Structure formats: C-alpha cells, structure tokens
Amino acid sequence: MSEPTVRQVAIVGAGVMGSGIAALVLGHGIPVVLVDVDVTTLRAARVRIEQQLRHAQLMGALPAGTAPGELTTSVSLADVADATAVIEAIVELPAEKAKVLAEVSAAVRPGTPLISNTSGIPIAELARSVDRPEELLGTHFMNPSYLIKMVEVSRGPQTGDAAVAAVVELLSALNRKAVIVRDAPGFVTSRLLHPMINAAARIVGEGTATVEAVDELMEGCLGHPTGPLRTADLIGLDNLADSLQVLYERTGDPSCKPADLLLEKVRQGDLGRKSGRGFYAY
C-alpha cells in the first residue's frame, strides 16, 4: 500500500504516554498536534519530548537522516480537525475517554482513524460515544513507546477494515509491528500483566517479602526483565489502579481488584517515576 504524501497526527493528552507517543511520531518525521487542557502540562510535555528524542537518537531508535517533525501544542480540541489520525492518550477513566472521543469524532473529517490508547477499556464500550464507530479502534503502546517496537491493536466489533489498515500502515511508518487482537476488557497484555503486578503489591502489603525481594525473584527466577513493581512505577500507579478497576468491574475477577497497598500509594501521591516516588524512590 502506498504511503500518503502528507501525514499529521494529533495526540490528545500530554501526560507520560501522550508525550512518549509524540516523541515516537516526531522522531519519524511526522508533524504532531499535541492537545491538552492545561498550558503548564503542555510546556512540561515539550521539554519531556525533547529529552525523549535525544534519548531515542542516542539509542539508535530513530531512522537515520530523518529530521524530526514539527510539534504544535494546543488547548483546543478543534485543532485536531486536519489530522490524518488522532490518538487519544488521556487518563484511563471510561467517562473521560468517551467525552474526549465524542468531541474528536465531531471535529475530524469522516474517514479519519480515531485511536484510543487504552490499556483495558473495551472499544465496543467507547464506540457508543463516537459519530462513526467504524473509525474507532484501540492501541496499547508500551512505555517508553519510542523504544518498544510492538503495539497491541484492539479491533472493536464495529471497527471497519479501512480503519484497521490505516492504523497498521501508520504503525509501519513508525517502524512498529502491530499485533491485532479482538476486543475484550484488558485485551491481552493488561489482562495478563496487571493482575500479576497487583499480586506482587498484595504480597508486599501482606509482609511476605520486600519490594526489592519480589522484583529480584521475578527477575532471577522467572526471567521478568525489570520486575513487576519497577514496571508498575513506569506505568504510573494511578494509571495502573484505574486500569485494574476497569478490569475488575468488567470481569469480576478478584485478582483485578486493586490491592490496598497500591491504592494507599496513589492516595499519598506516590505515583511512580513521574512523581519521583512509587514502590521505589527516583
């Protein structure tokens, strides 16, 4: 399939994931419109993206000789109107995502793929909020998305072939491999990973082992690359708790009910790397 002559990606949400995805897209020479409701958040995101681009270049993760795309920031969702694809990357709260997707759907041209970067909210559920459900699908970029080469793509029951093809093509242009799965709460990666992290937090909360011991055992005995609790800090403990709550409410699986220790850390503002403290201090 031939590539479009012009691409512009809009990303809604300038937090950890939105910034990382923006760095990935910009690093492949594609302009980005980054939208958030808060000017201070956008300023911080611009600094973070510049740092991530430098890191990606040092790691050899970007195509050689490609000038970064232009970054435009905005506090108005109307500025997504000219995008050839829109990626929603706000907090993992179903009502908030539905509200943003409804506004984006009304703003863009028909035929524009709408991509919810969700770790577990079913696309069928979010599709009720958009004008054209056939244009909506899900992605689950992993953090840091400018380094991780694979992306889980969730196809909702109403998602059309054209939207799937467009997103796979975009990911290919970003040198990412798309793995397409059917719609379900948590899809594949979150349905497996998040209950495991939750169990690790519960073990620590019960006093069976320290944070360090849990991660060391998972790394040394079971081959986990970083340990589940370091991974939790990278995800963001607030995002993890929200995602687990989504899974628990939609599956009834008790292993997904957020652990008391996890919820306590969120209440204390210890959210992981982004706040400087989570299960570890940074």
pLDDT in tens, 53-109: 999 999 999 999 999 999 999 999 999 999 999 999 999 999 999 999 999 999 999
Q: Which amino acid is at 268?
A: Q
pLDDT recorded at residue 3: 47
| DSSP 3-state of 229 | helix
pLDDT in tens, 227-257: 999 999 999 999 999 999 999 999 999 999 9
Residue 280 CB contacts under 8 Å (≥ 6 apart), including other chains: 211, 229, 230, 233
Active-site residue list = 140
- CA–CA separation, 157 vs 153, rounded Å? 13
pLDDT recorded at residue 1: 37
- Reported confidence tier of residue 4, pLDDT bands at 50, 70, 90: very low
Q: Is the dihedral of CA 99, 102, 106, 107 positive or negative?
A: positive
pLDDT in tens, 6-27: 699 999 999 999 999 999 999 9
Question: Has residue 200 got a pLDDT over 80?
Answer: yes
Helix, strand, coil percentages (3-state) for the chain, rounded to 5, are: 50, 15, 35
Question: Has residue 164 got a pLDDT over 70?
Answer: yes
CB-count burial class (<10 Å; 0-12, 13-18, 19+) for 188: middle
Is residue 148 left, alpha or beta, with left meaning phi > 0 and alpha meaning psi from -120 to 50?
Answer: beta
- CA–CA separation, 136 vs 86, rounded Å? 10
- CA–CA separation, 67 vs 60, rounded Å? 14
Mean pLDDT of the region 136-148: 95
Residue 253 DSSP class: -
pLDDT in tens, 208-232: 999 999 999 999 999 999 999 999 9
pTM of the model: 0.92
User: In order of start, what are the domains of the chain with their CATH numbers?
Assistant: 9-182 (3.40.50.720), 189-274 (1.10.1040.10)
